[in-house]
Amino acid sequence: MPVQSALLNVMVGAARKAARRLVRDFGEVEQLQVSKKGPADFVSIADTTAERTLRAELSRARPHYGFLLEEHGEVPGRDTSNRWIIDPLDGTTNFLHGIPHFAISIALERDGELFAGVIYEPVHDEMFVAENGQGAHLNGRRLRVSARRTMAEAIFATGIPFMGIRDHELFLRQLRGVMAVSAGVRRFGSAALDLAYVAAGRYDGFWENGLNPWDIAAGIVLVREAGGFVSDHDRGHGMMGSGDILAANDHLHAPLAAILREAAQAPS
């Protein structure tokens, strides 16, 4: 791995500091105070504490950058070219149920384009990092997306819509289409880690509907820098706006997109 840039050092340091408290809270998850944020969607003290730590650490290093935060929305900065996009705890439901699969996600958007991303999974100490033009790495090891060429040998990840989320029927059509031609579909409950795993070649592809920018921003950078392709379901570039995302290698991206388009066009 080349020498890590000052920018990535800042992002990695912030993620590690926020993760220390997250891991402590995870160890005491039964005592954690939880308030309900919406149908099947919860926010915990762990979320807000991690977000506060990340904001403080990143502001200390880059005081004029703006923020887009899961819990507190848009925070403009004096530097209008640079904006942090942060999910302090991706996989909150996993966390609150004692399932050790969650992550901190930090992306930097520069002049409207995603420039750098860090996804940190603290339980197994896996630090995924990527910067524009510098490749993607996991704990110092260069990452590449998988080289599988056929749907029949590929495993895909997705997110299943839960109570209060739209388009259950659309998802079921998508799932049926992918199940019929693939080696399997996984649902682990963290979009950030799903994208990181695509970058690492663990999954051959990933799709989901209606995500938020902080769910996917860092993962988009990772997949691109690992040699993969990321788009919306129409193979365009609107995923940060629509939240509909598809990530895969160059062999599987087009056939997976075709299945998703067919599902969208089928009668309800």
Domain match, 163 and 258 both: yes
Please indicate, yes or no, whether residues 35 and 119 belong to a single structural domain of this protein.
yes
In tens, the pLDDT along 169-216 reads 999 999 999 999 999 999 999 999 999 999 999 999 999 999 999 999
Measured distance CA(48)–CA(25) in Å, rounded: 12
Q: Are residues 56 and 158 in the same domain?
A: no
Is the domain of 185 the same as that of 124? no
Tell me which residue range forms the domain holding 117: 6-142
Clarify whether residues 35 and 131 are in a common domain. Answer: yes
DSSP state of 228: -
In the Cβ-directed half-sphere of 58, how many Cα atoms lie within 13 Å? 31
For 8-37, how does the pLDDT look when each residue is reduced to its tens digit (9 = 90+)?
999 999 999 999 999 998 888 766 667 666
Q: Would you place residue 1 in the very low, low, confident or very high pLDDT band (cuts 50, 70, 90)? A: very low
Q: Which two tokens stand for residue 24?
A: 């402590």
> Quick one: pLDDT band at residue 254, thresholds 50, 70, 90?
very high
Helix (H) or strand (E) holding 13: helix 6-27
Q: Please tell me whether residues 124 and 88 are part of one structural domain.
A: yes
* CATH number, residue 129: 3.30.540.10
Q: For residues 39 and 146, which has the higher predicted lDDT (pLDDT)?
A: 146
CATH number at residue 247: 3.40.190.80
Task: Render pLDDT for 35-44 as a digit per residue (tens, 0 to 9).
Answer: 666 544 566 7
Alpha-carbon 1 to chain mean position: 22
Under a CB-based contact definition with an 8 Å cutoff, are residues 164 and 68 in contact? no
1 within domain boundaries: no
Decide: residue 268, CB within 10 A, 0-12 exposed, 13-18 middle, 19+ buried: exposed
Q: Which two tokens stand for residue 144?
A: 């590449």
Do 26 and 134 lie in one domain? The reply is yes
91-131 residue pLDDT tens: 998 998 889 999 999 999 999 999 999 999 999 999 999 99
Please identify, among 89, 109, 142, the residue that sits at the C-terminal boundary of a domain. 142
Residues 158 and 90 reside in one and the same domain? no
Angle between helices 168-179 and 253-265 (to 10 degrees): 140
94's enclosing H/E stretch is helix 92-96
* Judgement on whether residues 136 and 172 belong to the same structural domain of the protein: no
Give residue 211's Cα distance to chain centre. 9
- Per-residue pLDDT, averaged over 229-248, amounts to 96
Choosing from 114, 142, 170, the residue where a domain stops is: 142
